[in-house]
Amino acid sequence: MKLYNKFFSRWTGVALLATMGLFACQPEIEVITPTSGTADFTTYIALGNSLTAGFADNGVYRESQENSYPEMMAKSMREVNASLVFKTPLMPEGNGSGYLQLVGGAPAPVPADPAWRNSVASGGPYQNMGVPGARVKSLTQVGYGSSQGNPYYERFASNPLATIVGEAAAQNPTFFTLWIGNNDVLGYATSGGDQGGNTITPIDEFKADFDKIIAGMNGASGGAIANIPNILAAPFFTTAPFNAFVLDAALAARVNAGIEATIKGGIRQQAEASRPAITAQVTAGLRQGRIAAGVAAGLSEAVAAAAADAYIASAAGEADIATRVQGAIDGAVESNYTAIPVQFRPTVKEGANPFIVQGERSPTNPTGLRSATDKDLILLTVLGYTGSPAFAALPVLPERFVLDVSEQAKVNAAIEAYNGVIEAAAGSKYAYVNINTFFSKVISGFSYQGVGYSPSFVTGGAFSLDGIHLTQRGYALAGNEFIKAINAKYNSKLSLINVNDYRGILFP
């Protein structure tokens, strides 16, 4: 029942042909004379999280870092300020923190280099201060660069008590970019919402921490601040169909039998807990019945009671009671199972079926089971789980692989509120980069420099193999949105990044 082949086998050849076609004809790039306008690009600092660090394919490795959007932007800035120094805390050559690559048409993990966590602080200070995993509060958090904090920051922090914003401000930047806030809601979404254990940062905390960042960077005369895109449109949330549970007739029958057995097993556990009470009730009923029968046969009540007690104490009586008790429990299981509404006893059939989802039990849903709907978002991690022994034993998805409608609403509400804070923080001093609006184009599909982009996993061009972070081309697209906003705000003419100079997914 593993779903990798369904999703990936048809893509590899098509995507290879498409990739070859992308380089067959490069479009002409408009030539401009770069100028800085009113911006000062003497010292540029990039603040942010994994998106700023160049995280791609579920990891950080040297190639991904060297092709981060801040590195691309720094190249454009050097055209107007050749002395600009921009350094990234590069991983060792090789696998870095580990990443995904395509093997046999499906993503497969490349192991991490054990040396990736070694300190590179002596090579600092660094101007790309993007830290994977960082939330808004992380940028001003004392100890975030220690062994108790974030390993990505620990490896280049000047000291364990340094803060990201503090180290950035100490370099006296004249210009900064800031793209932060995704992780304040992303962890909740990628771990299945309310069932995943990750929380959404409350808006008041988000605002207070964001204001601390802006205050810390107040010494810079200019900057560009980006908002948060619609993360739920990323391939991580849109690739796996809700009804990709495809079965033949025999397997469907086994799944149905397994689900019924699981539900009845839960009911039986409850019934077994009541076995002592049921035994007492059965024993009392049997005794009364035998006494009544004895009296009806002409015995005195005392003699009938003594005979009944003797029978109950005998081996035959004990066996009789045990049989009656088991029958009562079995009958309760069947009647209680039948009483459960059909929608909470989902079944499958031959062909394509919705996934069956296991959530919390409640008075309205005593089984905790339901069939997924087209309103659910099935997370990309389901592709691995469907090949696991746990799924083979019971082909039901735990809630952590599904984002339901109410959880999606919480994510979208948080992003909307966060973006209001971010836009207000940019104010009139800094350029506001509306990444959210730009990436809505990716959702519907668009063409840039002769190349098409979409949110399709692997073949879409913009998103890397983790389904969340961008490819090098995706980062180039994002970098251009920064540059456009900077040019508009500061009347500068930074050169746009030639997106086709960078690769998308690397095919074997």
Of 147, 91, 99, which is closest to residue 115 (Cα–Cα)? Answer: 91
Band (pLDDT 50/70/90 cuts) for residue 30 is low
Question: φ, ψ for residue 495 (rounded to 5)?
Answer: -70, 140
> Both 69 and 186 in a single domain?
yes
Residue 197 confidence (pLDDT): 76
Query: Is residue 347, in this structure, part of any structural domain at all?
Result: yes
Residue with tokens 């993503």: 107
Q: What is the mean pLDDT of residues 439-450?
A: 84
> What pLDDT is recorded for position 354?
93
How many distinct structural domains can be found in the chain? 2
Contact 66, 72 (CB under 8 A): no
Q: What is the pLDDT of residues 288-302, one digit of tens each?
A: 999 999 999 999 999
pLDDT at 287 over 90: yes
Euclidean distance between CA atoms 177 and 167, whole angstroms: 15
Q: Does 270 lie in the same domain as 158?
A: no
Is 487 found in the same domain as 364? no
Say whether 44 sits in a helix, a strand or coil.
Answer: strand
User: For the CA atoms of the chain, what is the radius of gyration?
Assistant: 31
Higher pLDDT, residue 445 or 413: 413
CB 371 within 8 A of CB 345: no
Same domain for 232 and 96: yes
Q: Verify that 126 and 147 share a domain, yes or no.
A: yes
Confidence of residue 196 (pLDDT cuts 50, 70, 90): confident
pLDDT at 20: 31
Evaluate if residue 447 carries a pLDDT over 80: yes
Cα 377 to Cα 404: distance, rounded to the nearest angstrom: 6
Range of the domain at 147: 37-240+433-501
Mean pLDDT, the chain, as a whole number?
91
On the question of pLDDT at 22 being above 60, the answer is no
The single-letter DSSP state of residue 74 is H
Q: What is the mean pLDDT of residues 473-501?
A: 97
| Strand positions, DSSP E, 97-229 | 99-103, 106-110, 128-130, 175-179, 222-226
Residue 134 one-letter amino acid: A
CATH number at 223 reads 3.40.50.1110
Model pLDDT, residue 355: 94
Strands 451-453, 446-448: parallel, antiparallel or unpaired by DSSP?
A: antiparallel
Instruction: Check whether residue 78 and residue 202 sit in a common domain.
Output: yes
* pLDDT-based confidence at residue 382 (cuts at 50, 70, 90): very high
Same domain, 84 and 213: yes
Task: Report the percent of the chain where pLDDT is more than 70.
Answer: 94
Confidence at residue 506, expressed as pLDDT on a 0 to 100 scale: 87
Assign 31 a pLDDT band (cuts: 50, 70, 90): low
Q: What is the mean pLDDT of residues 23-44?
A: 75
**Would the CA dihedral through 400, 406, 408, 409 be positive or negative?**
negative
Residue 190 banded pLDDT, cuts 50, 70, 90? very high
Contacts of residue 369, Cβ cutoff 8 Å, sequence gap at least 6: 259, 263, 344, 345, 346, 356, 357, 358, 359, 396
- Residue of 465, 456, 455, 464 whose CA lies nearest to 502: 464
State both tokens at 15. Answer: 């995507």
Q: Is residue 148 part of a domain?
A: yes
